[in-house]
Structure 1
Amino acid sequence: MTESELELTFASLSEAGMKATNEDAVAVYWPDSGHILRHKGACFVLADGVSTAEAGQTASALAVKNFIQDYPQTPDSWSVNHSAQQVVATINTQLYQLSHQFQHEQKGYLCTFTALVLKSQSAYFFHAGDSRVYHWRDGLLSQLSQDHTTIISEQRQFLGRALGMDSKVELQNGSVAIKPGDRFLLSSDGIHDFIEDTRLQQFLSQEADPEYICAELKAEALANGSEDNLSAILVVVQAVPEQSLDDYSQQLVRLPFPPALSAGMKIDGWRVIREIFASSRSHLYLVEDEATGQQLILKCPSINYEDDALYIDRFIREEWIGLRIRSPHVVRVFRQQRTRHYLYYLMEYIDGETLEHWFARQPKPLKPSVAIGLVKQIAAGVGAFHRQGAVHQDLKPGNIMMDKEGTLKIVDFGSVYVAGLAEIYSPLQHEVALGTIDYSDPNYILGHNSGEQGDIYSVATIAYELFTGHLPYGEAIENCTTARDFDKLRYRSASHYNGVIPAWFDRALRRGVSLNLNERYQSLQQLLKDLQRPNPDFLHDEVKQERKTSSLLFWQLLSGFWFITLILVIWLFLLRR
């Protein structure tokens, strides 16, 4: 590799123009690390909120923000196309789900989307809608993107594609080789609909600062009667690397597995202190950065799967998922700042033990204040996954670490399911059942993906165990393999094991672990709310049950009285005879 780097100058603007509010959004990501610039590139993103959608402004802001945050976190071994399309798919799923959460309010989260990624000697673009990306070279201007609009008449046309419009987004994407002097313009329709291409070409041909050219484009559009929002990003290529990274990027996918490591060995500037964990699927080592002294955990794949392409893909995806999650209750994954020569990734070192080991040493049952505090921490960590459109799927005490201060952190991303990567929830296709049967939603075992409700089942099961020392369906669940087996299970009231548990609390636990998805909580927040304060519906049902029980007892007593009276009458009648 040569030391030459990609050099760019750029400017952007986004203003309301003649409108009261600005529903456009722009964002730029210029890496502060040469490693990230070489392997991920620089990003430029523009989105335009669909005017007929009530939440268009929110949608455009979320789209550019999330792309800028998530794209650089994708694994080095992923190509630009794969990385960008995976990220956009997750953004689209978020917007689509937000729209469907507000069906009754008819609140649509829709926006056009145009992204440009410049990496090494190439420019890549990704596009949906009627915002645009242009390429200028040697005085000639060409439009790279295609407008996804359908024209009915001069006065009527509609948008055919946008983020959040459907559960699956169809992106236009392409790439061009770049050279010094090239210019790229991203614009919203408030700019390009009011400036002819010949004039755009003239503006981009100027030997002027990008910021000055953007200001001229805005002034021209306004002068030509633009009443829309005005947004533009102009990028000028000053220099490109002398050697392409394409071949190198392809080699990343084929990185060799690290050999078995032992104390004192070194790998890419990390010195192994000791082995932390080893299994047939992975190895974890405590390592120290020779340059800074920072201690982290290095996770390596097992050589048992060296020829398993699906395993390698899942291992790489673990790193990406970990890089996207930001929560004090989820183990942090660190981006490698040096070139890797082996396949592995880095995580924070947690000095502590698993919740499973800690709980085994505690007197049962736990104090309610301690137990609910632990449940709240677990829920906070799971919520961080759900906000990113991800489902953990293997939540259990053995996958939750407790540090010396009592802070819980969820670990292990091997079973995490990201809805955006599959576009919509679909039946699981895994070689083995995910998770541990004691804590995993039985729907997983039966081959169905219950989404966030699956994690809710796991959280409620762990909560039940923390308060009682037992599992809600007992040990019998371990032998269940079919729907008929699960139908035979019966929930055991938590108050049976812990007499201080009130009926309303037990009702919340019961609903959380219900085998029927229609009865189970739809969101983690609902479960947590009902575990911390009585749900009036539960109290109302309890009163109704008490009345029903009292009424039944009354009729039972009355029936008993009449039965005894009848027997006495018959006995007296027989005596008189």
Structure 2
Amino acid sequence: MSFDVDIGRCSERGPREENEDFSGVVQPAHQDAAHGLIAAVADGVSMGGRGREAAQTAVLSLVRDYYATPETWDITVALDRLISAHNAWLADHNRRRQGAGAEGAAAMCTLTALVLQGHSYTVAHVGDTRAWLLRDGDCIQLTQDHCFEQPDMRSRLTRALGLDDGVRLDYVQGELQPGDSFVLTSDGVHGVLKRRRLAALAAEGSADAASASLVREALAAGGRDNATAVVIRVRGLAASRLEDALLRGRQLPAPMRLRVGDVLDGYTVTALVDDNGVHRLYQAREAATGELVALKTLHEARASDPEERAMLAHEAWLSQRITERDSRGLVRAREVEHASAFYAVFDWHSGHTLEHWLGHGRRFDIGDVVEGALTVCKALGRLHRQGVVHRDVKPANLHLGDDGQWRLLDLGVALSGREPATQRQLHAGTPSYMNPEQWGGPGDRDPRAADAGSDLYGLGVTLYRWLTGHLPYGEVEPYQLARFRRDPKAPSRLRPDVPIWLDHVVLKAVARDEAQRFETAEEFALALERGASRPLAAPGSTPLATRDPAALWMIAFAISALFNLLLVVWLLFLPR
């Protein structure tokens, strides 16, 4: 989702012969939405008529090249590299012109750039163009002019693009709110209009009319320079970014233990659902809508841990991202506006987990099991297509709602490629539901990191227990590879009403050899959908050499020992 903004631009040359100001605003295409919106104003420094060239190339190169930068770059890094590269280009051209004897033909300009991304804004600035923020009736100047302090030298810049080989930029970042207005001006506007008048004109009419009013009144008031104004009014925010969530996680306090009846930002706590020593999960009612929601907070023992804060922020952001278009089989996280504390809000679904039902001895019909497993499998497929690995698929994270829908819970340890480094290094998961490659062993020298196949194996083990009430390899402790030295029993041997075709699907999903398992969630789902109409082939027994390579050496040793024993008996006791 991109910003809902009203944009206005106006630039006039005034009494000057040429307009050396230049401005640009670019809203992202759908595929570039993560980069946000970028706007810039540049004011050329009049030296030999090259000011227009410097201003135009500075703005155009910035707004065009910005969307080619990697999404993984911080905004300040992207802006710094782009602006510094253009400054180096201008400085090199200026040296060449001076070397060719073109006196006074230097191309220089000031530049103020604004990026709106997610729920934050970033300003990059050099020179005496300005950025203003209008919020709640206040007009805040976000930039400082890089000029000499003496009144008679205010027009002399201390910093500008093209002035030196290197350029030092000022950066300002802050939280973005609906209703904010940003104004970018050249000195032909703010050098004439007082702050109060500038704010009043910027707030009148549409953004386009406001920008025209600023320029027109500045020139009418006796302005002797080019006049340029860009007005951007934020009516609605784009989707929250991970950086926004991490920033809130660092800045906001964690709420203390909440009791039934306590109110947090319009959410009234109705029940404490879970407390595991790291997180607390509450049921609460939203005052604005009357809907029930789930609040997830950090336990006070972990509230000051920056790594736990980053992991909870990542979970909330990831849940919002993957459920933005389709939340089937998953739990949607909600955007929290104007939060006074650090917590996450999720949709509330009444019901119980599969672990709860199995612990209470509930026996599910075969059709219900297949339907539920198919729903979870398709949800995993959507995660994997977005580059997300759940890492903890198990009955405790499968939830059957009162609406009859199965959902996959808890993205707290999921990998997205944007997760904190500590989370990436964490050996997460529940041992009995983790594929043996994660433990290493003779065939795998080092433990393997979890991947999409790990989720499918976890679903396979869950499906086995769902049907039979047992684990295919029994309870597995960390690095207990001996558990995998036998093939699991077919589910139909433990539950006779399990059809043979489902035996084949389940045994393929939990095969000891990863080459025998499903490669993708789509393949797994297709096997469940086809069922008996196009059954899978019966899996063969895993060779002893694959299950337990050391057993072959033990057998060979036993045979050798027996042969040597017989040889000794023959030599000592049998007649020659």
| AA in 2 matched with 1:451 | D
Residue 417 of structure 1: aligned partner: 415
Asked whether 1:522 is paired with 2:506, we answer no
Deviation at 1:416, TM superposition (A): 0.8
Counterpart CA distance in 2 for 1:247 and 1:535 is 49
State the distance in 2 between where 1:318 and 1:404 align: 24
Secondary structure at the aligned position of 1:448 is classed as coil
Q: Which residue of structure 1 aligns with residue 202 of structure 2?
A: none
Report whether the alignment pairs 1:441 with 2:435. yes
Secondary structure at 1:45 match in 2? coil
- Residue 468 of structure 1 pairs with residue 462 of structure 2: no
Q: In the alignment, what sits opposite 2:563?
A: none
Summarize deviations over 1:264-316 as a string: whole Å, max 9, x none: 21222222222111110101111222333232111101111233221111111
Give the residue type in structure 2 aligned to 1:435: G
- Shift in alpha-carbon separation, 1:528–1:290, aligned structure 2, 3 A: closer
2:230 maps to 237
The farther-off stretch of 385-394 and 290-299 is 290-299
Residue number among 284, 291, 300 corresponding to 2:288 in the alignment: 291
**Contact kept in structure 1, 2:307 and 2:420, CA below 8 Å:** no
SS of equivalent to 1:272? strand
The one-letter code sitting in structure 2 at the alignment partner of 1:407 is Q
Cα 1:179–1:349, aligned 2, differ >3 Å: closer, same or farther?
A: same
Offset, 1:170:
11
Distance 2:318 2:244 in 1: 25
Aligned to 2:352: 353
Check the 8 A contact 2:510/2:517 in 1, yes or no. yes
CA distance in 1, matches of 2:26, 2:276: 39
Which residue type is aligned with residue 348 of structure 1?
D
Counterparts in 2 of 1:442 and 1:307: CA distance versus 1, 3 Å: farther
What SS does the aligned partner of 2:489 have? coil
1:51 alignment counterpart? none
User: Are 2:249 and 2:313, in contact at CA under 8 Å, matched by a contact in 1?
Assistant: no
Identify the residue that residue 117 of structure 1 maps to in structure 2: 37
SS state at 1:173 partner: helix
Q: Any idea what the Cα deviations from partners look like across 1:233-281, whole Å, max 9, x if unmatched? A: xx9831689xxxx999967623111111101212222222221111101
2:246–2:310 Cα contact (<8 Å) kept: no
Name the structure, 1 or 2, with higher relative contact order (CA <8 Å, separation 6+): 1
Give the SS at the match of 2:432.
Answer: coil
Q: SS in structure 2 opposite 1:296?
A: strand
1:239–1:117: structure 2 CA closer, same or farther, 3 Å change rule? closer
Q: Is the 8 A contact 1:180 1:238 kept in 2?
A: no
Q: Work out whether 1:343 is the aligned partner of 2:295.
A: no
Structure 1, unpaired ranges of 5+: 12-41, 47-60, 72-114, 124-133, 150-160, 182-204, 212-234, 543-577
For residue 440 of structure 1, what is the amino acid of its counterpart?
M
Q: What corresponds to 1:513 in structure 2?
A: 510
TM-score (norm 1): 0.53
What amino acid is the match of 1:328? Answer: R
Quick one: distance in 1 between partners of 2:366 and 2:523?
A: 19
**TM-score, normalising length from structure 2?**
0.53
| Structure 2 residue aligned with 1:456 | 456
- Is the 8 Å Cα contact of residues 287 and 295 (structure 1) preserved in structure 2? yes
Query: Equivalents in 1 of 2:301, 2:358: separation in Å?
Result: 33
> Are residue 45 (structure 1) and residue 44 (structure 2) matched?
no
Per-residue Cα deviation, 1:157-196 (whole angstroms, up to 9, x for no partner): xxxx8879xxx99997115246369xxxxxxxxxxxxxxx
Partner deviation per Cα, 1:455-487 (whole Å, 9 max, x = no partner): 100111112222222221123xx23525x4355
Q: Is the 8 A contact 1:272 1:287 kept in 2?
A: yes
Does the 8 Å contact 1:285/1:297 carry over to 2?
A: yes
With 495-504 and 275-284 compared, the bigger mean Cα shift is at 495-504
Aligned to 2:379: 381
Paired with 2:254 and 2:401, the residues of 1 have a C-alpha distance of 30
Deviation at 1:440, TM superposition (A): 2.6
- Superposition map of 1:188-337 within 5 A: 237-238=230-231, 253-326=250-323, 327-337=327-337
Following TM superposition, by how much is the alpha carbon of 1:403 offset from its aligned partner in structure 2, in angstroms?
Answer: 1.4
Alignment partner of 1:176 is 2:81: no
For 1:379 and 1:494, the matched residues in 2 are separated by 19
Deviations 1:370-407 (A, max 9, x none): 21111112112222322321111111111122111221
- Runs of at least 5 residues in structure 2 that lack an aligned partner in the other structure: 10-24, 45-51, 80-122, 134-187, 189-205, 209-227, 235-242, 441-446, 541-576
Contact 1:298 1:344 in 2 (8 A): yes
**Which digits, 9 at most, give the CA deviation of each residue in 1:391-439, with x for residues without a partner?**
111111111221112211111111111136599xx99511xx3122222
Separation in 2 of the partners of 1:450 and 1:393?
Answer: 6
The verdict on how the C-alpha distance between 1:517 and 1:348 changes in structure 2, with shifts beyond 3 A counting, is: same
Distance 1:370 1:404 in 2: 14
1:541 deviation in Å?
Answer: 7.5
**1:427–1:448 contact (8 Å) kept in structure 2:** no
The match for 2:158 is none
* 1:404 counterpart residue number: 402
- Look up the equivalent residue of 1:453 and give its one-letter code: G
Amino acid at match of 2:425: Q
Q: What's the secondary structure of 2:502's corresponding residue?
A: helix
Aligned to 1:356, the other structure's residue is in SS state: helix
Are the aligned partners of 1:480 and 1:486 in contact in 2 as well (CA < 8 Å)?
no
CA distance in structure 2 between the aligned counterparts of 1:148 and 1:256, rounded to whole angstroms: 39
Contact 2:391 2:455 in 1 (8 A): yes
Structure with max Cα Rg: 2
For 1:409 and 1:247, the matched residues in 2 are separated by: 27
How far is the alpha carbon of 1:135 from its aligned partner?
A: 4.9
From 369, 372, 388, the equivalent of 2:370 is 372
Q: Distance in 2 between matches of 1:383 and 1:282?
A: 28
Change (3 A) 1:486 1:535: farther
The size of the alignment, in residue pairs, is 355
Name 1:429's counterpart in structure 2. Answer: 425
User: Is contact 1:273-1:285 (8 Å) kept?
Assistant: yes
